[in-house]
Amino acid sequence: MAKDEMPKSDFRDAILWHLTYTLGKDPDHAQVFDWRLALSHAVRDRIVDRWMASTRATYRADAKRVYYLSMEFLIGRLLQDNIVNLQLADQAQAAIESFGLDYRDLLLDEPDAALGNGGLGRLAACFMESLATLGCPAYGYGIRYEHGLFRQSFAEGRQMEAPEDWLAQPYVWQFERPEARFTLGFGGRVVTRDGKPVWEPENFVQSEAYDVPVIGWQGAWANTLRLWAGRAVDPFDLGRFNAGDFTAAAEAEALARTISRVLYPEDSTEAGKRLRLTQEYFFSAASIRDILRRFEADHADLRLLPQKVAIQLNDTHPAIAGPELLRILHDERGLPFDEALAITRACVNYTNHTLLPEALESWGEGLFGELLPRHLQIIDRIDAEDAKAHPDRRNAARGEGRVRMGELSFILSNRVNGVSALHTGLMKTTVFADQHRIWPDRIVNQTNGVTPRRWLHGCNPRLSRLITQTIGDGWVGDLEQLQALEPHAADAGWLEQFAAVKAANKADLSDWARREHGLTLNPQALFDVQIKRIHEYKRQHLNILEAIALWQEMRENPSADWTARVKIFGGKAAPGYFFAKDIIRLINDVAGVINADAATNEKLQVVYLPNYNVTLAERLIPAADLSEQISTAGKEASGTGNMKFALNGAPTIGTLDGANVEIRELVGPENFFLFGLTAEEAEARRAVPDHAARAVAGDPRLKRAIEAIRSGIFSPGEPDRYANIVENLTGADYFLVASDFADYWRAQREVDFAYADRDGWARMAALNVARSGWFSSDRTIRGYMQDIWNAKSLLGQE
Ligand code: AZC
């Protein structure tokens, strides 16, 4: 094969061609890494034609485009996803095996792109995939962090954080776009010229674009994820260099790059203020310029903007995009303020992902005004206009010395949405009650969803095969077809096959855990899994307390007929969130003691797998028997892990929180293990004096479990190690762990009982699969297209 004979049709030849001419490697000496890159290039080639066709179709139709602005896109690995969506899996596997290589090894060689913290970032990634699947012309805009979410390891049970470096290797999925650069200003002052305000920024950086194509199911459509990197306007000061100051010569570049250096590792608390606000403005402003550039290339009349542009703010992190658009329309394009405001409002929409007060962003007006002086004036003017129109309005964007990003997002949006029915309801009665009274049509619900391509078809090939054999393959693009499985859940022969899939997935996980971590998991046991960020409201400590209490009862009564369990944990804590880090250490300490107890360890194991990420989720979810969704009611906006577990045949033990409520309604209350206070009851309980102390006093099991922690049996020689946790559990206990413990215990024993009936359990698990089709992110995106964006699919027009 010669260089000018680039093979198009034969996949095997295409891989060899790229290995030779793109990577310059002799096949005789190529490593797994080289083959993986060659395969990725061959796959990428097949994306590019469709990508361009989609872009051309969008221009031809002059279609409305959706712009999804998000600080986080937790995309994970892309090679397998792309192969699956292009339906190349068989070809790719055959080609790779023909070279004598292991196909799975190759897929697993790709680093995880961890450009997100958790649910919000993963949702953005699922949405990008569904937008492409549905043929909705869309761009994702985010930041190309050089270091994604930190790598987690444990040292004596404690979380250690190391920088992640997904870009240490060439990243095949990105295309650098040096032509799409914008110069962005920060700081400075606002002067008046010809009676008009003019912002004179003091510092400048450039945004540089990297495009990642996102291909939909069956390759029918592809959109772009555009990630911005910070660059200096003058990257290199030759004068300083020649004067011998080599470090200073590159200082501007180092500073500019800092902006896109690291993902903010928090997902709930305030920190890193100035850099964080800089990041927010940086990517929002670059995106707005890009959106306007694309619009103005074909349209002269800015009043048409809302017909052609829908902007979605993924939480408040990009909220400054609103005032930035308004500023450009008014200050730079010269539209009257009220018209610029109306246009902005008609384009922008906002998704709220949390009601936790500490996670609702606000900025001190000092810092804000220093960095963005003109935007502060614009925000005041919007507040003033709203105050005129609605004199009884209470919650302005600026108040109490702060710029409140939730309020700002709300008042600049056409639609504001919550992410589950319960959460949307609570938005109306709590944080946005005042706004909702004034703009009653603005808040709408769009319950989250997950992409079935990655979260069932891709990650669970055995179950995918069984489903396709049973009902055909239409379900991958139309998940509600899973309903057709329902009659099979009554067929003993089919259920046996279904149970065999789960057993095989569990065996795979056990093999991997042995190889990777030296763990021996009992594959006969119930795999009870809680994987998510570590947070008090998610209550991993409730789960570990139950493990302690269970262990104590097993020791007391070793000959009873206990259902064997492996409790599996995974998740990272924000580096500055010390209580969460204590919970991690406690779980590891408890695991050490319980797993070493020969009297019980056939029946109970506790395992904390380090460095939870998308890839680990793809491994764990297909092997799970039980899904732990145990947040304090009213605190988890939706959850999306809960949907993935149900879809893969793991029934939920959970509270009436977030989308658990909808999961329970759809799978049926008899196939869901409910416990705990409702959101309303939780509010009321907090008002009861000493609610935690009373709960502990009234529940000998809970008391004994807490006592065990206090006594130091899990922290020999250091009984105070968990003093904070113990004090919290018996004192303030805002998240009502003690109050919910007894009912959680009861529900867990129901699980034990149900699991002992293996046929009954298989049926329950199968019904979870059959009835979870509604949780496809395709359904969610259709909802956004219709109720929020007024955007149309262009499928068939490419
Ligand atoms: C999460 C919510 O906590 C989770 O309930 C929801 O499913 C997810 O968003 C997607 O909507 N929120 C975050 O990850 N982070 C923040 C800042 O809210």
| Tens of pLDDT, residues 178-204 | 989 999 999 999 999 999 999 999 999
Matching fold, domains 62-77+112-448+782-789 and 454-775: yes
Q: Is 419 in the pocket of ligand 1 (CB under 6 A)?
A: yes
110 lines ligand 1 (CB under 6 A): no
Residues 552, 560: Cα–Cα separation, whole Å:
13
CB–CB of 630/652 below 8 Å?
no
Question: How far is ligand 1, taken at its centre, from the CA of residue 405, in Å?
Answer: 16
Give the residues across from 776 on adjacent strands: 450
CB of 448 within 6 A of ligand 1: the answer is: yes
Distance 714 CA to ligand 1 centre (A): 32
To the query of whether residue 538 is one of the catalytic residues in this protein, the response is yes
Total residue length of the chain: 798
- State which ligand 1 atom lies nearest to the alpha carbon of 117: 14
Rounded CA separation 551/565 (Å)? 11
Rounded to the nearest angstrom, the distance between the alpha carbon of 438 and the centre of ligand 1 is 26
Ligand 1 centroid – CA 597 distance (Å): 38
651 lines ligand 1 (CB under 6 A): no
For residue 12, what are its two tokens? 């095997």
d(CA 404, CA 432): 12
Q: Is 274 designated active site?
A: no
What pLDDT was estimated at residue 66? 98
What b/e readout covers 60-98, taking b as 16+ CB neighbours within 10 angstroms? Answer: eeebbbbbbbbbbbbbbbbbbbbbbbbebbebbbebbee
pLDDT over 90 at 429, yes or no = yes
> At which residue do the structure tokens 């850099």 appear?
275
Is any ligand 1 atom within 6 A of the Cβ of residue 639?
A: yes
Residue 534 CA to residue 585 CA, distance in Å, equals 11
Query: Which residue in the list 451, 640, 652, 655 is annotated as catalytic?
Result: 640
533 is catalytic: yes
Query: What is the 3-state secondary structure of 86-140?
Result: CCCHHHHHHHHHHCCCCHHHHHHCCCCEEECCCHHHHHHHHHHHHHHHCCCCEEE
Q: Is ligand 1 within 6 A of the CB of residue 74?
A: no
DSSP conformational letter for 73: E
Residue 535 structure tokens? 């947070």
pLDDT of residue 287: 98
Q: Is 299 a catalytic residue?
A: no
Give distance in angstroms: CA of 348 to centre of ligand 1. Answer: 20
Instruction: Yes or no: say if 640 and 617 are a contact pair by the CB < 8 Å rule.
Output: no
Q: Could you tell which of 68, 120, 313, 317 is best to mutate to test the pocket of ligand 1, judged by most ligand atoms within 8 Å of the CB? A: 120
User: Would you call 353 a catalytic residue per the annotation?
Assistant: yes
CATH topology of domain 454-775: Rossmann fold (3.40.50)
pLDDT tier, 36 (very low <50, low <70, confident <90, very high otherwise): very high
- Radius of gyration of the CA atoms of the chain, in A: 27
Residue found by looking up tokens 């009659």 in the block: 487
Residue 354 Cβ inside 6 Å of ligand 1? The answer reads yes
Distance CA 217, CA 128 (A): 11
Determine the distance separating the centroid of ligand 1 and the alpha carbon of 637, expressed in angstroms. Answer: 6
Mean pLDDT, residues 762-776: 98
- Classify domain 62-77+112-448+782-789 by CATH number: 3.40.50.2000
For residues 731 and 737, is the Cβ–Cβ distance under 8 A? no
Contact 309, 347 (CB under 8 A): yes
Nearest-5° angle of CA 58, CA 781, CA 74?
Answer: 95
| Ligand 1 in reach of 118 Cβ (< 6 A) | yes
Distance 643 CA to ligand 1 centre (A): 14
Q: Mean pLDDT of all residues in the chain? A: 96
Distance between CA atoms of 740 and 490, rounded to whole angstroms? 34
CA of 742 to the centre of ligand 1 (A): 28
Number of Cβ atoms within 10 Å of the Cβ of 599 = 10
pLDDT band at 271; cut points 50, 70, 90: low
- Degrees to nearest 5, angle at CA 302 with 178 and 435: 100
With a 6 A CB cut-off, is 420 part of the ligand 1 pocket?
no
> What is residue 1's predicted lDDT score, i.e. its pLDDT?
63
What does the DSSP assignment read for 539-577? Answer: THHHHHHHHHHHHHHHHHSTTS-PPPEEEEEE----TT-
Query: If residue 739 lies in a helix (H) or strand (E), which one and from where to where?
Result: helix 737-756
At 387, the pLDDT band (50, 70, 90 cuts) reads very high
Confidence check: pLDDT of 272 > 80: no
Task: Quote the CA–CA distance of 68 and 448 in Å, as a whole number.
Answer: 15
- At 394 the pLDDT is 86
Which member of 44, 294, 353, 453 is catalytic?
Answer: 353
Question: Which is the closest atom of ligand 1 to the Cα of 122?
Answer: 10
Closest alpha carbon to 422 in 600, 696, 636: 636
3-class secondary structure, 190: strand
Q: What pLDDT does 407 receive?
A: 96
Instruction: Read off the tokens for 448.
Output: 């989250």
CB atoms within 10 A of CB 367: 14
* Residue 696 confidence (pLDDT): 98
Q: Out of 644, 710, 763, 771, which one is annotated catalytic?
A: 644
Which pLDDT value is given to residue 485? 98
Residue 308 is among the residues annotated as catalytic for this protein: no
pLDDT beyond 70 at 268: no
**What single-letter DSSP state applies at residue 631?**
P
pLDDT in tens, 217-249: 999 999 999 999 999 998 888 888 888 888 888
pLDDT-derived band of residue 391, with 50, 70 and 90 as boundaries?
A: very high
Whether the CB of 230 sits within 6 Å of ligand 1:
no
354's CB contacts (< 8 A; 6+ apart) are 268, 315, 360, 637
Give me the mean pLDDT over the 674-685 stretch: 98
641 lines ligand 1 (CB under 6 A): no
pLDDT at 267: 63
Closest CA to 723 of 575, 577, 546, 582: 582
Task: Kindly state the average pLDDT of the residues 513-536.
Answer: 97
Nearest to 369 by CA among 130, 573, 186, 195: 186
Mutation to probe ligand 1, out of 126, 638, 660, 781 (largest number of atoms < 8 A from CB): 638
Burial-class residue 393 by CB neighbours within 10 Å (0-12, 13-18, 19+). Answer: middle
Q: Are strands 113-115 and 73-76 parallel, antiparallel or unpaired?
A: antiparallel
Report which ligand 1 atom has the smallest distance to the Cα of 533.
14
pLDDT tens for residues 4-17? 666 767 899 999 99
Domain boundaries, the chain: 62-77+112-448+782-789, 454-775
- The answer, yes or no, to whether residue 110 has pLDDT greater than 90, is yes
Helix (H) or strand (E) holding 48: helix 32-61
Nearest residue by C-alpha to atom 17 in ligand 1 = 267
- 595 C-beta neighbours (distance < 10 Å), count: 16
Q: Is 37 helix (H, G, I), strand (E, B) or coil?
A: helix
Closest by CA position to 444, among listed 418, 464, 422: 418
Tokens describing residue 446: 């769009």
| Run of H or E including 68 | strand 65-69
Tens-place pLDDT, residues 536-547: 999 999 999 999
Average pLDDT of the segment spanning 580-591: 98
Overall average pLDDT of the 636-652 stretch? 98
User: How many Cα atoms within 13 Å fall on the side-chain side of residue 463?
Assistant: 34
Q: Are 785 and 456 in contact (CB under 8 A)?
A: no
Residue 117 Cα, ligand 1 centroid: separation in angstroms? Answer: 9
The HSE-up count of residue 107 (CA atoms within 13 Å, CB side) is 19
Q: Mind giving me the DSSP string for 429-458?
A: HTTTHHHHHHSTTTEEE----B-HIIIIII
- 123 CB under 6 A from ligand 1? yes
Within the chain, how many helices (H) and strands (E) appear? Answer: 33, 24
- The more confident residue out of 277 and 270 is 277
Q: Name the DSSP class of 160.
A: E
Output the CA 482–ligand 1 centroid distance in Å: 27
pLDDT higher than threshold 90 for residue 265 = no
CA angle 147, 150, 152 (to 5 degrees): 155
Which atom belonging to ligand 1 lies closest to the Cα atom of 423?
5
Verify whether ligand 1 is closer than 6 Å to residue 657 (CB atom).
Answer: no
